[in-house]
Structure 1
Amino acid sequence: MTMKDEIKRQVEQMLKDNIIEHSNSQFASPVVLVKKKDGTMRFAIDYRKLNAITIKQVYHLPIINEIREEVAGKKIFTSFDFKSGFHQLPMNPEHKERTAFSCWMGLFQFIKVPFGLCGAPTTFMRAMNELKKYISASFLIYIDDVILSSENEIEHLNDIEQFLNVISNFGMRLKLEKCEFGLAEIKYLGFFISENGIRPDPKDLECINKIKPPNNLHELRAFLGAVNYFRKFIPSCAKILGPLYELTKDNKFKTSTEWNEEEWNSFNEIKEKLKSPPVLAPPNPKESYIIETDASLKGIGAVLIQNKHPVAYYSRTLKDTEKRYHINELEALAISQALKEFFNLYNRYRHNNN
């Protein structure tokens, strides 16, 4: 199927589903087709010019790490995926003409919220938070990714029934093939979550381990960025990566064929660490925490521990001024930075327990 055929198919389907309508607008944004993981094409509009002149909405989006930490430790999980979630919300009639797009079939505008508008994620999140007012079950939302967690099967079945009844009353639809029900471990927002805690997806780690030594600055930064995504699972991550980060500074880059032993050790050691990262334990508000810190001229690091299990790791390299600190000052710096880094986690659960 050609791109022209795909656009025709999706436009006709959206007309049939009352997602779009014919338009006489003076606005016109171009169509783009984005390939999804399953091989199908997502119909989207390039709203960059419209977004540039749009007043941005201010609305709190939850912190992804906090969502994962809050649901980890429960015994049973279900995730829900809304079917084209944005398209289930109506557009403000006064603003529909601004969503107009042009293609070889003519000019159309959206009746429902389209993908690509800068305000779409926050609008959908606001709507989902309105739903929460009618649901007592323990569930968390990040835009259109919903996870429900419970302590036992009976509670979980009741929670699922309540959630489905509420979204049905609001006319919301789910994409059943992307929902997962009653699992002891579930992948949510990129990580696996279970009663035991949080762990990375082995497939993601395998991809990093397959990365070849970088031969240009772009490749090096891409490698460091990929590893950095899992830094909370790696003890002394910044210290290990220090020699490679040095190569990103002005005029210091060199290809892997020019690396010294320290740089090769950095590259190989971080890959080795990612082969078997620890499962981060779920925070328990009824238990106390221990923070262990480490400091040297190569950097500072810390681990938040509960019941002898790591909850989170933290590390960073030293700033130029900090490299002149006495070792006692570095130890104090490590403690101070660890308390700041872990504050939201241990303080949030401490207050929830009071």
Structure 2
Amino acid sequence: MHTHSPTWDDCQQLLKTLFTTEEHERILTEARKNVPGDKGRLTTLPNLIDECLPLNRPDWDFGNAEAYRIHQYPMSAKARKGIAPHINHLLEAGILKPCHSAWNTPLLPVKKPGGKDYRSVQDLREVNKRVEDIHPTVPNPYTLLSHLPPSHVWYTTLDLKDAFFSIALTPSSQHIFAFECHDCNTGTPGQLTWTRLPQSFKNSPTLFNEALNQDLDSFRQSHTSVTLLQYVDDLLLAAPSEAECRRATRDLLQELGQLGYRANAKKAQICRQTVTYLGYKLKEGTRWLAEAMKETILRLPVPTSAREVREFLGTTGYCRLWILGYAEIVKPLYKATKDKVPWAWGSDQKKAYDELKVAFLRAPALALPDPLKPFTLFVDERRGIAKGVLMQHLGPWKRPVAYLSKKLDPVAAGWPPCLRIIAAVALIVKDADKLTFGQHLKVVTPYAIEGVLKYPPGRWMSNALLTHYQGLLLDAPRIIFAEPTALNPATLLPTPDLRAPLHDCQEIMAEVTQVRLDLQDTILPNSELVWYTDGSSFIIDGVRKAGAAVVDKGGHIIWSASLSLGTSAQKAELIVLVEALERAEGRRVTVYTDSRYAFGTVHVNGAIYRESGFVTAEGKALCNLPEVRRLLMAVQMLRALAVVHIPGHQSAWTPEAEGNQRVDEAAKAAAVASSALALTQPTPDLPHLPPRPDYTPEDLRWIQNHHCPEPDQQGWHQDTEGRLILPAQLGLFLLSNLHQATHLGKKKLLTILESARLRFPRQAAQIQEIIDQCVGCQAMRPSRKGPQHTDHDPNVAPSYLASLKALQGVQHEIWSLVHSLCEIKDAPNPEHGIVPGDWHRALGPSLSRVPSQPAGEDAS
């Protein structure tokens, strides 16, 4: 009788008692070499070996895992009767067996197309969620046919019937695939489970592909003159002659029969020069889309949701090698795949949808890549889309092998054309390498990018990215660059007119890498003004204070100001530089700054920001965006300009160092002076925005109507001026709390929102509603109906009393803050029992409260 189920720890303790450590390791190593696989032969599959003899404690086991049960969905008598023959056949074959399991998943009857028969499909989604993923090793159909030599023009295709049922399922795993089934004769319910690999199991394709690949290894070694491609259960055999194809096909069928596999006779294509494989038609070393594949795409209905658009793109993307500029055509469709914005099917999407279907109708035949010949790659870039055609020569003709296209990332899309083409070539070469087998590749573009890569502009890309491009593209002699040639946009092939003007890349980049052509980084000769600028930001008593100043070479302060609390040093440097340039409008000026950030923004990054649309690589708005925009405009206001960088805090005594020291002292003095001008409070830790916004449908409609750009990766929208758009409820919550603490008016609250670069739907109306509903604000407003006296005091109106009460409430809220910040000694205490409207009697210098009296009695 079993009284205990041994655990992993029990087994390990028993092994330590029976064997030494060396004996245990030797036994385990030998045992792992002799794990039986399918059909009783030894296996080398790590997942099967680890299942039988794990080296480490299993994460969980089926015996202790929490079972998941879903009741069988209701099924009509007709459907139950329709799947009964199929179930009985599987029971007789031993593929199904009765069981008792805590697991249960529903069975779905699916009617076969064109007939009255049914087939059963098991819903294993919940089981798939709970089973560990294994690394998929199924071949990529995108590159699978690239392994087919063009000289092999006789083909045989085989489709294995019920392929997954050829792989036995280990008994310890069978019970998690149980399902409920009713006996058609008695109606008695019961449970059945699989003894072979289920078809709906997520790891079945990978497990079967590995097993079949291992089984066919001996055939490949004995038939080296033919090529055998395998995609799960679809086999393609190619041979150079009909005789070899027939002989190899016969041997392959015999091998499969001995291994227990069965081929579908109806789908087999034996020894033909034209066959269909994976939706592609093969003939004489070329491939093109099969008519069935084209018909499937053309019959797809117009999408009515974001999900249907994604399904359409997934179907068409399988055949993108045949479409020139596929990424450019489908660009509008990707905008309709986002769930966070209201779904819309506009004219741009309709045009792209129709254009893509027409492109499939005109899809050309593509040559199979020949690994013995070099390749030629024509690449161009247009509107942020990289496009390329991979070709090989057949005598005097060029034959296309593949059409490639990719979208550039936001940063690369904002580069000058001479650098965008480098990013485009890198993307297309990566894709082409999957088809070229490391063969020589000749790259043809309209730009001389080899020279740009050898003498790169350091302003536009990081060292890591530049090294990546150089390592990938300057790979002589495998990759060589042809002379720049004008390409026809319709075909990406060289145009017959070789006299087309070609530009100088270095000259073009020199123009676009500066915010103005005559900008200098050394002192201007005959400068009318020589100014020093500095912004200072530091923390005193937990409060970040900031100031800025502009000083001339004589030490006179041209401008200084304290900046708002919390201003960063970088922002302060931009503000003071903008102020200096705007004050020197129309003059010849030299401006010194010790800020690398401000200097880099003017000389290096400003042009990059402008070209990239003032967004980062993640599509987010730049930090200090208003100041950067203002700086780029201010640079254009001067007749001549030099922004010169000077190291800060120098020990050497030079006129430049002296001027920088003076402006540094002036900026710090301006920052400290801010505390004497206004009562300030240490900036509290501001609450963070939620990770993702919770926009309502009304919010999204408002965003769409205001033509706002696409959201960032977290789903936050910004308007065309870079202001963050809050959900209406969040904006209302923010303003309600802000008004409750400050009782500011409408204009001031709108100014605060603008300073914080925030916006939300109906913000002006919401602010007005908040103010109208505020009791204190309404009480402080002067009455438009004139004084309304009370019955007991004809000299005091109720509205005036309400105003005094509201003022007293505000006094209670701010008095403790004023007292703590200003350290007022012996300050009067506002805490007392007097309430506006009480009656008091004057007793010398003090007051004493008396009960309220009716009107007409003496009071003061």
Which category describes the TM-score, using the shorter chain as reference length? Answer: 0.7 to 0.9
8 Å contact from structure 2 (residues 323, 359) kept in 1? yes
Which residue matches 1:189? 278
| Residue aligning to 1:81 | 159
Tell me the CA shift for residue 239 of structure 1: 2.0
User: 1:180–1:96: structure 2 CA closer, same or farther, 3 Å change rule?
Assistant: same
Which of 436, 441, 445 lines up with 1:346 in the alignment? 436
Point out the more displaced range, 189-198 or 336-345.
189-198
Name the residue aligned to 1:126.
210
Instruction: Give 1:329 shift.
Output: 0.7
Mapped pair 1:335 → 2:425: yes
Matched AA of 1:306: Q
- For 1:30, the equivalent position in structure 2 comes to 106
1:71-126 CA distance string (max 9 Å, x none): 36321111112221111222212322233221123211222222222232222112
CA distance in 2, matches of 1:252, 1:325: 31
Distance 2:288 2:168 in 1: 38
Distance 1:284 1:219, change over 3 A: same
Query: Which deviates the most, 170-179 or 154-163?
Result: 170-179
How far does residue 206 in structure 1 lie from its aligned partner after superposition? Answer: 3.7
Query: Counterpart in 1 of 2:262?
Result: 173
Q: Structure 1 71/41 Cα, relative in aligned 2: closer, same or farther at 3 Å?
A: farther
Q: Is residue 159 of structure 1 aligned with residue 248 of structure 2?
A: yes
Change (3 A) 1:327 1:189: same
Deviation track 1:286-308 (CA, whole Å, cap 9, x = no partner) reads 21100100112252211111111
- Which of 15, 19, 35 is the aligned partner of 2:95? 19
Identity of aligned residues (%): 24
Change (3 A) 1:269 1:81: closer
Return the TM-score normalized by structure 2: 0.38
- Is 1:71 the counterpart of 2:157? The answer is no
Which residue of 148, 170, 178 corresponds with 1:92? 170
CA contact (8 A) 1:186 1:193 kept: yes
2:605 is matched with: none
- 1:292 matches 2:381: no
Q: Which has the higher strand share?
A: 1
User: 1:241 aligns to what?
Assistant: 330
Distance 1:298 1:265, change over 3 A: farther
Which one-letter code corresponds to 2:422 in the other structure?
A
Query: Which of residues 47, 53, 56 in structure 1 aligns to 2:124?
Result: 47
- Give per-residue Cα distances to partners, 1:18-77, cap 9 Å, x unaligned: 211221233222212234456453323222222222233335211112222223632111
Q: Which has the higher contact order (CA 8 A, sep 6+)?
A: 1
* Change in CA separation of 1:268 and 1:170 when aligned onto 2, cut-off 3 Å: closer
Q: Does 1:108 align with 2:175?
A: no
2:279 and 2:292 in contact (8 A); partners too: no
Q: Name the CA distance, whole Å, in 2 between partners of 1:15 and 1:253.
A: 48
AA aligned opposite 1:152: S
Check if 1:272 corresponds to 2:334: no
- What is the deviation of 1:214? 5.1
Q: 1:45 to 1:300 in 2, by over 3 A?
A: same
| Separation of aligned partners in 2, 1:252 and 1:99 | 40
Letter in 1 for 2:83: I
SS of the equivalent of 1:115 reads: coil
Tell me how far 1:264 sits from its aligned partner. 5.9
Contact kept, 8 Å, 1:82 with 1:174, in 2: the verdict is yes
Write the distance in 2 (CA, Å) between the matches of 1:180 and 1:253. Answer: 45
Task: Using the TM superposition, give the Cα deviation of residue 202 of structure 1 relative to its aligned residue in structure 2, in angstroms.
Answer: 2.5
CA RMSD of aligned residues (A): 2.6
Matched, 1:56 2:125: no
* 1:316 aligned onto 2:406: yes
Cα deviation, 1:224-259, whole Å, max 9, x if unaligned, reads 444333221111122233344445567586434xx2
| Gapped regions of structure 1 (runs ≥ 5) | none
1: CA distance, partners of 2:438 / 2:108 = 42
Counterpart in the other structure of 2:415: 325
Conserved? CA contact 1:72–1:194, under 8 Å: no
Cα deviations across residues 292-351 of structure 1 (Å, max 9, x unaligned)?
Answer: 00112252211111111111111133433233211101121221111111112113567x
> What's the secondary structure of 1:176's corresponding residue?
coil
Equivalent-residue separation in structure 2 for 1:167 and 1:297 (angstroms): 52
TM-score by length of 1: 0.87
Determine the C-alpha separation between the residues in 2 that align with 1:63 and 1:130: 18
Question: Which runs of no fewer than 5 residues in structure 2 stay unpaired?
Answer: 1-76, 184-189, 441-860
Partner letter of residue 240 of structure 2?
E
- 1:206-245 → structure 2 map (5 Å cutoff): 206-209=295-298, 217-245=306-334
1:288–1:91 distance in 2 versus 1, CA, 3 Å: same
- What amino acid does structure 2 have at the position aligned with 1:9? P
Q: 1:23 to 1:231 in 2, by over 3 A?
A: same
Partners of 1:51 and 1:118 within 8 A in 2: yes
Q: Distance in 1 between matches of 2:343 and 2:129?
A: 36
Q: What SS does structure 2 have at the residue aligned with 1:27?
A: coil
Structure 1 residue 169: Cα displacement: 1.6
Answer yes or no: is 1:2 the counterpart of 2:91: no
Residues 306 and 343 in structure 2, CA contact (< 8 A), matched pair in contact too: yes
Q: What pairs up with 1:243-262 in 2 under 5 angstroms?
A: 243-246=332-335, 248=337, 251=341, 254-256=344-346, 259=347
Instruction: Check the 8 A contact 1:76/1:151 in 2, yes or no.
Output: yes
Q: Read off the aligned partner of 1:171 and give its amino acid letter.
A: G
Which piece of structure 1 moves more, 284-293 or 47-56? 47-56
Looking at structure 2, the residues matched to 35 and 191 of structure 1 have their Cα atoms a distance apart, in angstroms, of: 27
Q: Is the CA contact 1:28–1:102 (under 8 Å) kept in the aligned structure 2?
A: yes
CA distance 1:38–1:18, shift in 2 (3 Å): farther
Whose radius of gyration is greater, 1 or 2?
2
Q: Any conservation in 2 of the 1:77–1:147 contact (CA below 8 Å)?
A: yes
